[in-house]
Amino acid sequence: MSAAVNLRKIHDYLFEIPPHGKMHVPARLYLDERSLRELLENQSSEEWNAIRQLENVACLPGIVKAALAMADVHPGYGFPIGGVAAFDPKAGGVISVAGVGFDINCGVRCLRTHLTWSDLAGKEEKLADTMYKVIPAGLGSTGELKLSPKEIDRVLREGARYAVHLGYGREEDLEYIEEHGQLNDADPSVVSHTAKQRQMAQVGTLGSGNHYVEVQVVDQIYHARAAEAFGLERGQIVIMLHTGSRALGHQIGTDYLPFLEKATRKYGIEIPDRELVCAPIESPEGQQYFRAVMAGANCAFANRQVLTHLVRQAFWKGLQVPETAIETLYEVAHNTVKWEVHEVDGERRRLLVHRKGSTRAFGPGRAELPERYRAVGQPVLVGGTMGTASYILVGTEQGMRETFGTALHGAGRAKSRRQAKRQYPAERIVEELRKQGIIVRAHGKASISEEAPGAYKDVEHVVEVMCNAGIVARVARLRPIICLKG
Amino acid sequence: MPYKYLDHEADIGLEATGTRLEEALRDGVRGLLSLLVDPETVEPRETVPVQASGDDPGALYVALLNAVLAAVDLYGMFFRDFELTRLERVNDHWVAEGTLYGEPMDLERHAVEIEVKAATYGGLLAEQTETGWRLRCVLDL
């Protein structure tokens, strides 16, 4: 079946595939004609194609309303990246490894600084070198924090709070992290010894691939009220940090894949793709996986907290900028599964929301948001590429109604890593970016070629689609100055 | 090539073939090692045992690749080569054992490529062909 045949245009920024075959709900994609055409043209494989993956998600038991894809959608494994699906436990809803991903609670933290662009002028190279030295990144790097098994268990239970307890960052940081950096349902006893051992030297490391620390300047403000609430102004320096739960999260995914496959068989769940192994949320297996994921999520919170501290150290060592001049604006993840209350068809329901490569984007008034932002809505952090803008957006009421309060998480890949590697030699990319005033430091050449700006969709366009659809609104555009990669 | 990489927007597919399942599993691991680091820059000074099990050859392939990824972190080593030493069907599941050859990580000397997060069941295929076995899965990068 060709996925494109069944696509129905709802409005200029939303397409729908009505339920067919074993789909319980429709699949909906936030795309315009151009991004839909690009998505269809760029598919590197008929088999792992994002639209088919979204249709497969719509076949899972207990899914509510629709399987959704944001404008940055591209193929993943099981779920498409940019996917959102909410499940009702009362309707046999499930929890799925593929809906979270192996990099559990991978996310972005944005730090705002008291610095302006002119404060950095002429010192960019020095800062880049210091960041490169201070922040462990790339395959094989280890963190300065070496934890005992007992301490690892505390990381898994207490998340960012434990990192603050150890002296990494400040109490105020926690206020501006989703869930205050600590999920209470975490249970270290359902996380394997191997997972914990792999993590012992990896807390406070960035990783590689699309993970980065980027120093950026605010070059455009679109929404004065939200920008004021978020403490943003034009010319200000901000820092974005993108990483996840490192080896611990990867191992939890690895351990629970066969575990949930057995559960899938036990409960007689029909799945259209083996990667979609899952268990009913309220089954013992589903509950166990959920508690393991929460532990993995806490590890990611702690990791970003330690990295925040290292960023502050780099600014101090490189430029003598005091720690207090760098504050957490917000941290939000994009590989998550969480209990949330949403109104569906006029009824408030407690749903388990999976976000795979999509960001929670709550509108105004939600109790989960820090008081300072509650009246305007949640900051939504959208990472661009090394050579293009990133965005800070804000969640809307309409997003709450349509997408379970979810928006895009990045530009979204358009070319495969292998294509990018062939097409963009690392040296050429570094030189081109240097001419644009962007300094890149990377531990591995592959991270530069594979993450070259040309390998991604046009971030301006995907942001425009989501904003025109009314799911989010622009607050600020950020332009890269220094990019540190693994 | 006994293994090849397949295009995938966000990740990468790893396909291994062999006249026997043992060879396909071995070459899949070799394909994974080459993604992490240039094997030519790693000396085979030390050995590390790995073992994996799965309900079927596909699950075994994924489990074996993941066991190798775990070994990289657990031993703090990069590996140049892999040999499969045992493949057996025990009751209702498959077991594989093998040996990795490598040395402790030396970021000055080892040409590090990219971190692989995990082998997944995405695009998983384990089939017998006219010439032997074909194994395939998507690796999360």
| CATH number, residue B44 | 3.55.10.10
Measure A369 CA to nearest chain B CA, in Å: 31
Q: Which secondary structure element, helix H or strand E, spans residue B33, and what is its range?
A: helix B21-36
- Phi/psi at A387 (nearest 5 deg)? -110, 0
Buried b (16+ CB within 10 A) or exposed e, A308-323: bbbbbbbbbebbebee
* Tally of structural domains, chain A: 1
Q: Are A444 and B62 a contacting pair at CB < 8 A?
A: no
pLDDT of residue A46: 66
Q: Choosing among B38, B56, B64, B73, which should be mutated to test the A contact, i.e. which has the most A CBs within 10 A?
A: B73
Q: In terms of CA atoms, which chain A residue is nearest residue B117?
A: A250
- Phi/psi at A263 (nearest 5 deg)? -65, -40
pLDDT confidence band for A443 (50 / 70 / 90)? confident
pLDDT of residue B83: 98
Q: How far apart are CA A428 and CA A432, in angstroms?
A: 6
Q: Is the pLDDT of residue A41 over 80?
A: yes
Is A41 part of a structural domain of the chain? Answer: yes
pLDDT confidence band for A5 (50 / 70 / 90)? low
Is A288 part of a structural domain of the chain? Answer: no
Q: How is residue A332 written in tokens?
A: 């939000």
User: What is the residue-averaged pLDDT of chain A?
Assistant: 95
pLDDT of residue A1: 38
Is A19 part of a structural domain of the chain? Answer: yes
Is residue A354 part of the annotated active site? The answer reads no
pLDDT confidence band for A45 (50 / 70 / 90)? low
Q: Are B58 and A207 a contacting pair at CB < 8 A?
A: no
pLDDT of residue B31: 97
Q: Choosing among B9, B55, B92, which should be mutated to test the A contact, i.e. which has the most A CBs within 10 A?
A: B9
pLDDT confidence band for B21 (50 / 70 / 90)? very high
Chain B residues in contact with chain A using a Cβ-Cβ cutoff of 8 Å: 5-13, 36-37, 54-55, 58-59, 62-63, 66, 69-70, 73-74, 76, 78, 105, 107, 110, 112-115, 117-124, 138, 140-141
Q: Is the pLDDT of residue A189 over 70?
A: yes
A250 closest CB neighbour out of B118, B123, B124: B118
Find all residues with CB under 8 Å of B96, minimum gap 6, and list them: B25, B51, B52, B53, B60, B64, B84, B86, B87, B88
pLDDT of residue A171: 97
User: pLDDT, tens digit, for every residue of B28-72?
Assistant: 999 999 999 999 999 999 999 999 999 999 999 999 999 999 999
Containing structural domain, residue A89: 3-100+338-367
Q: Are B117 and A78 a contacting pair at CB < 8 A?
A: no
Measure B92 CA to nearest chain A CA, in Å: 13
Q: Which residues of chain A lie closer than 8 angstroms to B76, CB-CB?
A: 140, 142, 201
Q: How far apart are CA A73 and CA A51, in angstroms?
A: 9
Measure A233 CA to nearest chain B CA, in Å: 34
B121 closest CB neighbour out of A207, A277, A450: A277
pLDDT of residue A39: 87
Residue B66 CB: number of other CB atoms within 10 A? 28
Measure A264 CA to nearest chain B CA, in Å: 14
> Does A254 lie at the interface with B, CB-CB under 8 angstroms?
yes
Q: How far apart are CA A441 and CA A485, in angstroms?
A: 6
Q: How far apart are CA A256 and CA A286, in angstroms?
A: 10
Does residue A188 or residue A40 have the better pLDDT? A188
Q: ipTM of this complex > 0.90?
A: yes
Task: Give the angle subtended at the CA of A251 by the CAs of A100 and B85, to the nearest 5°.
Answer: 135
* Tally of structural domains, chain B: 1
Is A84 part of a structural domain of the chain? Answer: yes
Containing structural domain, residue B65: 3-140
| pLDDT average, residue stretch A60-71 | 98
> Does A387 lie at the interface with B, CB-CB under 8 angstroms?
no
pLDDT confidence band for A415 (50 / 70 / 90)? confident
Q: Are A415 and B122 a contacting pair at CB < 8 A?
A: no
Q: Is the pLDDT of residue A3 over 50?
A: no
User: pLDDT, tens digit, for every residue of A225-235?
Assistant: 999 999 999 99
Q: In terms of CA atoms, which chain B residue is nearest residue A197?
A: B74
Is A46 part of a structural domain of the chain? Answer: yes
Q: Are strands A67-74 and A27-29 parallel, antiparallel or unpaired?
A: parallel
| pLDDT average, residue stretch A310-322 | 97
pLDDT of residue A44: 64
| pLDDT average, residue stretch A50-56 | 95
Q: Is the pLDDT of residue A365 over 60?
A: yes
Q: Is the pLDDT of residue A406 over 50?
A: yes
Does residue A224 or residue B10 have the better pLDDT? A224
pLDDT confidence band for A6 (50 / 70 / 90)? confident
The DSSP result for A368-394, as a single string, is: TS-HHHHTT--EEEEB--TTS-EEEEE
Is A22 part of a structural domain of the chain? Answer: yes
Is A156 part of a structural domain of the chain? Answer: no
Please give the span between the terminal C-alpha atoms of chain A, in angstroms, as a whole number. Answer: 40
The active-site residue out of A223, A309, A354, A409 is: A409
| pLDDT average, residue stretch A122-149 | 92
Q: Is the pLDDT of residue A67 over 50?
A: yes
B114 closest CB neighbour out of A42, A47, A444: A444
Measure A51 CA to nearest chain B CA, in Å: 13
